[in-house]
Structure 1
Amino acid sequence: MKRRGFLKLGVGAAVVIGVAGAGVALIKPGLVDGKLGPGARNVMRAAAQAVLSDLLPPPGAARDAALALQLDRLDAFIAGLPAPTRKELSDALGLLATAAGRYALVGLSSPWATATLYEVHEALNAMRVSTSDTKQQIYHALRDLNAVAFFNAPDNWRSVGYPGPVQIP
């Protein structure tokens, strides 16, 4: 096959994957009634564990409670985003919640709900250093959304040594 053939094949595959991904995202959006849907909750829960791993309690009931609270904070933060941003986020999370999207964009073969912390760390790191702008944007979205929701809560400030805002007389 010649170079032109490879280019045509690449463009064709990208179009097919894009259309399929958009179709899946329309059928199963990441956000349902403005909140994380079941698939998106799995994505964000796994990402939260990887992004905030050292800041969360050890595995067990306390960690599960902290992650549930983190997902509630994410819902509240996402609700305050502009509608077009919520739509893009919903599409992206809907695609990431599918097996094809998870594997193609994140490189994660295990489902989000059963992936180990190590697998998610490795997948996120691969996205971070990827030459693909799309993969880097998805990495930054997963990381930044979790960081903003976590560090915006005054209850979490102590865990990083932040005493809170200084009162100006």
Structure 2
Amino acid sequence: MAGLSRRQVLKVGLLGGLLLGGAGLAVSLGRPADDPAGGYARLRSADLEVLGALVPVILAGAVPAERMPAALAGTLRGIDDSLTRLSPAMLGLTVQLLDVLALPLTRGPLTGIWGAWSEATPADLGRFLDRWRDSRLALLQRGHASLLQLVLMSWYGRPESWAHCGYPGPPAI
């Protein structure tokens, strides 16, 4: 902040604090309901919308198009199961990430997806994932890594994924 007076720096700091506080309040007021979606232990309806759009893009190339609906359903079940096993701290961070992605106030500016997730094209979703992966902000990079880890661990933990990567399965005893 070279060239700014102390007064200008204080004004910028105060304005930034007010903006962050207002955004935090807006996020907490617009936060998706905490109730799990029907048939799920942890995933909420808003989470299913986000993940339902992202999982096919993340799994593209690993799953043939005709098997994608079954792969999506199984991966969502795997993610839900994984969330039930997370520590409270990690679950809280994951829920916060999904909240940021679900809330329109934060989704648009942070992801470039301004409409509903279900209306985004695979190219839009790919650009969002690339933007977070290549971001200069470590927080967005960690968000990208967390999303990929959540999805890929759930997918590659399923027996139908093993043939694609040449894994013969666990040893038979």
How would you bin the TM-score normalised by the shorter chain? 0.7 to 0.9
**Structure 1 pair 144–71 and aligned structure 2 pair: CA distance change class (3 A):** same
Q: Hey, what's the Cα distance between the residues in 1 that align with 2:68 and 2:156?
A: 16
| Aligned positions, number | 165
- Which residue of 1 is the match for residue 21 of structure 2? 15
Q: Hey, what's the Cα distance between the residues in 2 that align with 1:129 and 1:78?
A: 26
- Which residue of 1 is the match for residue 161 of structure 2? 156
Q: Hey, what's the Cα distance between the residues in 2 that align with 1:105 and 1:30?
A: 25
Q: Hey, what's the Cα distance between the residues in 1 that align with 2:170 and 2:69?
A: 29
Query: CA shift at 1:166, angstroms?
Result: 5.0
Query: CA shift at 1:120, angstroms?
Result: 0.5
- Report the secondary structure of 2:118's partner residue: coil
Aligned counterparts, 1:13-162, within 5 A: 13-25=19-31, 28-29=33-34, 34-58=41-65, 62-162=67-167
Q: Hey, what's the Cα distance between the residues in 2 that align with 1:19 and 1:31?
A: 23
**Structure 1 pair 89–30 and aligned structure 2 pair: CA distance change class (3 A):** farther
- Report the secondary structure of 1:36's partner residue: coil
Query: CA shift at 1:156, angstroms?
Result: 0.8
Answer 1 or 2: higher relative contact order, Cα 8 Å, separation at least 6. Answer: 1
- Report the secondary structure of 1:109's partner residue: coil
**Structure 1 pair 64–167 and aligned structure 2 pair: CA distance change class (3 A):** closer
Q: Hey, what's the Cα distance between the residues in 1 that align with 2:20 and 2:36?
A: 25
Query: CA shift at 1:128, angstroms?
Result: 1.0
- 1:73-112 CA distance string (max 9 Å, x none): 1111111112232233223212311211211332222321
Q: Hey, what's the Cα distance between the residues in 1 that align with 2:110 and 2:35?
A: 15
Q: Hey, what's the Cα distance between the residues in 2 that align with 1:30 and 1:84?
A: 18
TM-score by length of 2: 0.82
Letter in 2 for 1:41: L
Larger C-alpha radius of gyration, 1 or 2? Answer: 2
> Structure 2 stretches of 5 or more lacking a match?
none
**Structure 1 pair 103–138 and aligned structure 2 pair: CA distance change class (3 A):** same
Q: Hey, what's the Cα distance between the residues in 1 that align with 2:56 and 2:35?
A: 19
Q: Considering only aligned residues, what root-mean-square deviation do their CA atoms show, in Å?
A: 2.3
> Structure 1 stretches of 5 or more lacking a match?
none
